[in-house]
């Protein structure tokens, strides 16, 4: 068969393959983009308004909040068994810089790495995940503060993107018909350009941790007297005073504050006007104050506890989002490495072909059957192929380095840093169940599982708590209080006491001695009671600050509602676009495979003609370049399909479930994911060498012979 006939038949076969193998986008894709859509029932509830597309409540991240840890930072150190324990520092385990389980993958100086190994190592060693894991304990410390009535310090729940190469530029093809991105917000207009949110504002909660204060002192005083009339004729008075005062204060979630004070004084003096020396004076007062308007009730004083729990749930969700993101980054890096690895092999094959052609040309030149210009042409092709191979090798080495930094904590180990990484997995082109689902079903999955929606809903709950707090802050301060106390006096008769009516010292026994025990008893037996009730009122005229904060809290809540609805729309577009991307990518892979096969067949035919003297060196080199281009396109298209497949899993937030990754195990170990099961990643296949050119089937639609 002549070459033109072969090329024509191959073109017809390629066209038929492209028409027959074009996959459909599930069941929801209409015949034409302009075909009117059939009426659809409302499937996803997001607005609460009939007739509008809605979305379900997000699936909460459970049971992370109750995960077992070596140290529960939501609980304080107890006084039991060790009275000074609450006043001692908490020691955290030292961060381990070593890599885990990498040595078992090193064989003969090479690091053989599957995608499951790469993901497992990232869960154990990746810094982005390790930093995000600590945020879980930081959120627990905020809950501990809230239970004491203190304000919250907050937790950084932003996505960490410091794994280099996760958003690789190596894979540039593929994708859906559109692209989505989130805009950057405007600059702040507050002090220093920082905008302070109303979140956490409102009346200050009561201090829920009991506070005990004490004063123990001794004072010896010698004071010269200006007038001896009031000092019994003494020019100098000597007084020794011992003070032993104690106070207990505690707030309660109801807006109640209790204070109990107990004061003791022991005074020894030579003042003749004092009947007792030493004199013992004791008193106590218990005061209960209750907020009646502003600051009243559990909702105001316990709101930080609710917010801290919501923040912990947000941190749980952010950790899940970090796992999804980092696993996706590792997959992108892995497929970029596979692409670079296969590209380097293709460049070696291309150089081998051009080198073989040059060798054959030189032999023909020696026997005089080939023009020197053909040798120069083939030599130029060899030089170009060598340069392409050098560029491909350097790119492969860089991709290997990116892979190592994504799965290792340190690259200081010379054996690891020098070992080449050999990827052992390739992506399969089997259709995913998600490709055949209706868009609404995919969107429903994304709405229920997406951690961004979960965080947005929890943030709205915090905003609702803040709105209630500022509404309470509009009220005047009206506090009712009641107190009860008592006092007592005792001691021993002062030997220096003088009866000024007779100008003689009092006889012994004139003032009976009263022991401290009796004084203490008289303090609490209603012998000298002190009691009363009252109301404190504090009304801010015009109340402009409270009005501004209360209005602003509602505006910020309205903004959070809008952001949530915007997020629903964004996720819908992203999921739809990613479903299109898989359809486009598979078609691109199949077209690239057909083009590569055609190029291989064309090169084989051209080489046969060249050996028979019916072709030229230029034609052979052109077909070789066509084959190289076809292989590059196939490699890029396959990598793009693998990338977009992983991206769809991330958008649906089902990567962890699909791969069998335990989020609880990933969160438990501070030093890494020790004890985690190796992920099981479906849709992979073993590497295989490029197939040799097949004979062209001139009748691809015919039934196979019996």
Give the mean pLDDT of 23-48.
52
Asked whether the predicted pLDDT for residue 308 surpasses 50, the reply is yes
Asked whether the predicted pLDDT for residue 297 surpasses 90, the reply is yes
Dihedral of alpha carbons 490, 496, 501, 502, sign:
positive
Q: Quick check: bond before 278 cis, omega within 30?
A: yes
Instruction: Say if domain 307-465+548-685 classifies as CATH 3.30.470.10.
Output: no
pLDDT at 188: 42
pLDDT at 673: 46
231 vs 593, more confident: 593
CB 669 within 8 A of CB 335: no
Start-end of H helices in 280-413: 298-301, 303-366, 372-407
CA dist., res. 664 & res. 65, Å (int): 10
User: Which sequence spans correspond to the domains of the chain?
Assistant: 211-252+256-294+477-538, 307-465+548-685
pLDDT at 4: 47
Per-residue pLDDT band for 700 (boundaries 50, 70, 90) equals: low
Among residues of the chain, what percentage have pLDDT more than 90?
A: 46
Q: pLDDT digits over 689-699, tens only?
A: 777 666 666 66
pLDDT at 536: 96
Give the mean pLDDT of 15-30.
42
Asked whether the predicted pLDDT for residue 56 surpasses 80, the reply is no
CB-based contacts of 459, cutoff 8 Å, min separation 6: 310, 314, 560
CA dist., res. 649 & res. 633, Å (int): 25
Asked whether the predicted pLDDT for residue 229 surpasses 60, the reply is yes
The chain-wide mean pLDDT, for the chain, equals: 83
Among residues of the chain, what percentage have pLDDT more than 70?
A: 82
pLDDT at 93: 76
pLDDT at 247: 97
Per-residue pLDDT band for 30 (boundaries 50, 70, 90) equals: very low
CA dist., res. 672 & res. 123, Å (int): 7
pLDDT at 74: 83
Please state which of the ranges 47-51, 289-293, 323-327, 419-423 shows the lowest mean pLDDT.
Answer: 47-51
pTM: 0.83
Give the mean pLDDT of 358-387.
82
Q: pLDDT digits over 585-633, tens only?
A: 999 999 999 999 999 999 888 888 888 888 888 888 888 899 999 999 9
């Amino acid at each position: 068969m002549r070459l033109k006939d072969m090329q024509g038949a191959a073109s017809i076969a390629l066209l038929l393959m492209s028409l027959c193998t074009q996959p459909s986008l599930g069941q929801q894709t209409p015949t034409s983009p302009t075909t009117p859509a059939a009426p659809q029932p409302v499937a996803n509830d997001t607005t609460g308004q009939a007739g509008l597309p809605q979305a379900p409540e997000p699936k909460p991240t459970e049971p992370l909040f109750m995960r077992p840890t070596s140290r529960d930072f939501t609980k304080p150190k107890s006084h039991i068994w060790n009275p000074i324990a609450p006043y001692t520092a908490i020691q955290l385990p030292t961060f381990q810089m070593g890599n885990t389980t990498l040595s078992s993958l090193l064989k003969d100086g090479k690091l053989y790495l599957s995608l499951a190994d790469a993901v497992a190592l990232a869960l154990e060693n990746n810094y982005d995940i390790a930093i995000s894991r600590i945020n879980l304990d930081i959120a627990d410390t905020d809950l501990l503060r809230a239970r004491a009535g203190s304000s919250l310090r907050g937790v950084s729940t932003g996505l960490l993107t410091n794994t280099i190469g996760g958003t690789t530029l190596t894979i540039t093809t593929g994708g859906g018909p559109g692209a989505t991105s989130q805009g950057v917000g405007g600059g702040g207009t507050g002090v220093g350009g920082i905008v302070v949110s109303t979140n956490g504002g409102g009346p200050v909660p009561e201090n829920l941790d009991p506070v005990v204060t004490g004063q123990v002192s001794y004072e010896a005083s010698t004071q010269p007297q200006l007038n001896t009339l009031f000092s019994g004729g003494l020019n100098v008075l000597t007084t020794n005073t011992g003070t032993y005062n104690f106070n207990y204060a505690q707030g309660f979630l109801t807006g109640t504050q209790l204070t109990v004070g107990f004061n003791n004084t022991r005074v020894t003096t030579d003042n003749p006007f004092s009947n007792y020396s030493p004199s013992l004076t004791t008193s106590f007062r218990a005061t209960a104050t209750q907020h009646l308007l502003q600051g009243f009730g559990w909702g105001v004083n316990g709101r930080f506890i609710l917010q801290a729990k919501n923040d912990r749930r947000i941190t749980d969700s952010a950790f899940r989002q970090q796992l999804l993101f980092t696993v996706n980054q590792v997959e992108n890096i892995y497929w970029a490495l596979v692409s670079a690895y296969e590209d380097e092999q293709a460049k070696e094959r291309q150089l081998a072909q051009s080198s073989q052609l040059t060798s054959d040309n030189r032999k023909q030149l020696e026997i005089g059957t080939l023009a020197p210009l053909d040798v120069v042409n083939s030599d130029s092709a060899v030089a170009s192929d060598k340069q392409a191979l050098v560029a491909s090798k350097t790119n492969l080495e860089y991709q290997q380095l990116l892979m190592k930094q994504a799965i290792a904590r340190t690259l200081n180990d010379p054996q690891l840093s020098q070992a080449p990484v050999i990827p052992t997995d390739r992506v399969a082109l089997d259709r995913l169940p998600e490709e055949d689902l209706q868009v609404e079903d995919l969107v429903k999955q994304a709405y229920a599982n997406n951690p961004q929606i979960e965080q947005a809903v929890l943030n709205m709950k915090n905003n609702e708590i803040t709105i209630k707090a500022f509404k309470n802050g509009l009220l005047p301060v009206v506090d009712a209080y009641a107190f009860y106390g008592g006092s007592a006096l005792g001691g021993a008769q002062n030997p220096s006491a003088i009866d000024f009516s007779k100008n003689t010292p009092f006889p012994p026994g004139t003032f009976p001695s009263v022991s401290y025990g009796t004084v203490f008893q008289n303090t609490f037996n209603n012998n000298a009671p002190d009691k009363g009730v009252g109301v404190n009122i504090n009304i801010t005229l015009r109340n402009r600050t409270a009005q501004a904060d209360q209005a602003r809290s509602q505006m910020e809540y309205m903004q959070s509602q809008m952001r949530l609805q915007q997020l629903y729309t964004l996720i819908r577009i992203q999921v739809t676009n990613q479903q299109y991307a898989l359809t486009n990518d598979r078609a691109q892979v199949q077209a690239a495979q057909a083009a590569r096969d055609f190029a291989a067949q064309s090169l084989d035919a051209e080489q046969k003609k060249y050996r028979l003297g019916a072709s030229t060196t230029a034609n052979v080199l052109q077909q070789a370049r066509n084959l190289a281009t076809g292989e590059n396109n196939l490699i890029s298209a396959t990598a793009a399909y693998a990338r977009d497949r992983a991206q769809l899993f991330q958008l649906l937030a089902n990567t962890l479930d699909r791969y069998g990754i335990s989020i609880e195990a990933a969160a438990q170990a501070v030093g890494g994911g020790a004890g985690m099961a190796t992920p099981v990643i479906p849709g992979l296949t073993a590497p295989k060498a490029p197939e040799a050119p097949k004979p062209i089937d001139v009748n691809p639609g015919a039934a196979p012979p019996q």
